[in-house]
Amino acid sequence: MLDRFSLRSRIGILAALVAAMAVVLVSLAAFLTVRSNILATLDTNLFQRAVAAAQSELADPLQLSTIPPDVLGAGDIRIALLAANGSAQSAEGQLSAPPIEGPELEVARGLAPSSVRTASIGTDPYRVVAVQAGPGRALVMGQRLDPTQQVLTKLAFALPLVGAIGVVLAGLAGIAVARTGLRPVQRLTSATERVAATGDLRPIPVDGADELARLTISFNEMLGTLAASQEQQRRLVADAGHELRTPLTSMRTNLELLASASRPGAPTLPDSDRAEILTDVHAQVEELSTLVGDLVELARDDAPLKVHEPVELTDVVDRALERVKRRAGDVEFDARLVPWTLMGDSTALERAVLNLLDNAVKWSPAGGTVTVRMRQLDGWSVLLEVADEGPGIAEEDLPRVFDRFYRADRARTMPGSGLGLAIVRQVAMRHLGAVWAGRAPGGGALMAMRLPGRSPGGLPPSGQ
């Protein structure tokens, strides 16, 4: 039922219901308390008057009969002397006698010191008190309850009326509070609608420091992350277009030259030039294939994979070494590995290790040696280092060698797209690891990748 109303209306309705329950309970408790206090006060006063009358001349039947009826009528009082045999004498006979029954007879007979009860004469309710007035006698005094009941009746009507007004005010206050409290939620709703309609990722102003303010801050962080992701995608597309333009232009020029030489009447292209052009086209196709593969790898989600399989990192490095040795020429490799197991993607890890080895081979001089070392840092992580004997990395380039499409000045004349090391960093981050670059002891470049996992017989790290 409440699902049909807005959140603001539901808060107002719930506030009204809670107020109604509180009003009912408070009104009932107040009515019962006031009623009990009024009756207790009435009984106390009536009992004191009865005791005073029993100790005065009114305990004498002759004196009781001389009380003017106006005195008793003005106070709605009825008084009588009750004997143990059940006979009673009042000021005006039976017309002014209070209700007399068993409790009053028990007091007259000495079986009880006093009694208090509610009784009726016709339709008129009375509060009746009996006290001992000497041996074998009791003084019985009754007072009408009509005035008291009128007060209680008015109170019974007044309390619900005031409660109803309180319920209405509580409902209105609940709606007002809901309107004020839900204003940040309305801003969030408007912001999400604006993002969906326009793609505008501007942050929302934050007011206060409560839970809704924290929600707004979290939403702004999400918008910032989304904006950064969009900017990263735009930069990737722009950089990819720039990198693709050069080999495509060169390939188109070579293909147009071959096509022109094949037209009738065109100058004959020497076989050596034709072979050189075909070699260039083949190299450009390979470069495009590598670049497209790198772009596809970088376009994958950067978040850590949820489902991994056990991977022996030593086997991954061995396979990457076998692949790179086939195209490394006269470059030598010095590898020292340690057993290490982690949960991850073996294909992606092999791609990352292969990129590190290819980068080292590219910068190694003829006859140089690429050093590969694996060493366990602690019970939870291992470090893979790949060092070459090349010229090394300039200090200003060290922080950016893992950025996408970044190429140092001395690397611009060499083959490559600047994506290989970016893929290494992405794979390491997906496996909860890290990468960094430095200088090797021999002066070349040193690339390091830290990965979590465990050694054989060791305990797995947290989260693996």
Q: 206 falls in which pLDDT band (50, 70, 90)?
A: confident
Residue 291 predicted with pLDDT over 70: no
pLDDT at 170: 76
Q: What is the pLDDT of residues 302-353, one digit of tens each?
A: 444 444 689 999 999 999 999 888 878 889 999 999 999 999 988 889 889 9
E strand spans, 307-444: 309-312, 332-336, 341-344, 369-376, 381-387, 434-439
pLDDT at 316: 94
Q: Which domains does the chain have, with CATH numbers?
A: 7-151 (3.30.450), 212-300 (1.10.287.130), 309-452 (3.30.565.10)
Mean pLDDT of 184-194: 76
**What is the spatial distance between Cα 161 and Cα 155, in angstroms, rounded to a whole number?**
10
E strand spans, 293-423: 309-312, 332-336, 341-344, 369-376, 381-387
Q: What is the pLDDT of residues 90-115, one digit of tens each?
A: 766 545 678 888 888 888 888 888 88
**Average pLDDT value for the chain:** 78
Residue 374 predicted with pLDDT over 80: yes
Of 442, 423, 421, 441, nearest to 431 by C-alpha is 423
Mean pLDDT of 104-127: 85
Mean pLDDT of 241-270: 75
Instruction: Quote the percentage of the chain above a pLDDT of 70.
Output: 81
pLDDT at 391: 87
Compute φ and ψ for 56, nearest 5 degrees: -105, -165
